[in-house]
Amino acid sequence: MGNINIEKTGESIADEEEGQLTVDVCETPTEFIIESTIAGVDPSDIDLDVSGESVTIRGERHKKKASEDGNYLFQECFWGKFSRSIILPQEIDADKAESSLKNGVLTIRLPKLHREKNKKVHIRVD
C-alpha cells in the first residue's frame, strides 16, 4: 500500500472534463468516514485536499494500451482524470485526517472538531 498525498488547501478544481467518483459518507459521533472505490488507480496518482469544511479527491486512472487486433464489444470503464468534492456538515480537524487504500477502496477518516458553541466571557473590573 502506497502513501496518499493529503494536503490542506483552499484550491479549486481545475476546469477540465473529469469523471466523478461515487462515494459513501458515514458519520459517527467522533468522525466522518468517506469510502470510494477507485480500483486500478496508483496511490501516487491520488491527491486529497482537506480543509476544515470539505474534502476534494482528485486522481487519474491510466488506461493500458488496448490490443491492436481486438474490437471493443463494451467500453464502460472510466479512464482519465476524476475528482469529487464533499462539503461536510461539521468542521473537521484537517491536521488529523488519515487515508488508506486497500483492495481498490479508498477510506478517508476525518475527525470532527467539537467546539463549544457558547463561551462564557468574564467581565474584568477596572
| 3-class SS of residue 27 | strand
Residue spans of the domains in the chain: they are: 5-10+18-62+76-111
Start-to-end CA distance of the chain, whole Å, equals: 61
**pLDDT at position 37 over 70:** yes
Residue 5's pLDDT is 55
Read off the C-alpha cell for 117: 458553541
Domain 5-10+18-62+76-111 architecture: Sandwich (2.60)
- 47 with 68: CB under 8 angstroms? no
* pLDDT band at 39; cut points 50, 70, 90: confident
How crowded is the C-beta side of 33, counted as CA atoms within 13 Å?
9
* pLDDT band at 12; cut points 50, 70, 90: very low
Q: Say how many C-beta atoms besides its own lie within 10 A of residue 55's C-beta.
A: 24
How far does CA 106 lie from the centroid of its chain? 8
Instruction: Specify whether the backbone of 103 is left (phi greater than 0), alpha (psi in -120 to 50) or beta.
Output: left
**pLDDT at position 3 over 70:** no
Read off the C-alpha cell for 104: 481498490
What is the per-residue pLDDT across 44-80, written as a single tens digit (0 to 9) for each?
999 999 999 999 999 998 887 766 667 878 877 788 8
What is the per-residue pLDDT across 79-111, written as a single tens digit (0 to 9) for each?
889 999 999 999 999 999 999 999 999 999 999
Sheet strands side by side (includes 31-37): 24-27, 31-37, 105-111, 98-102
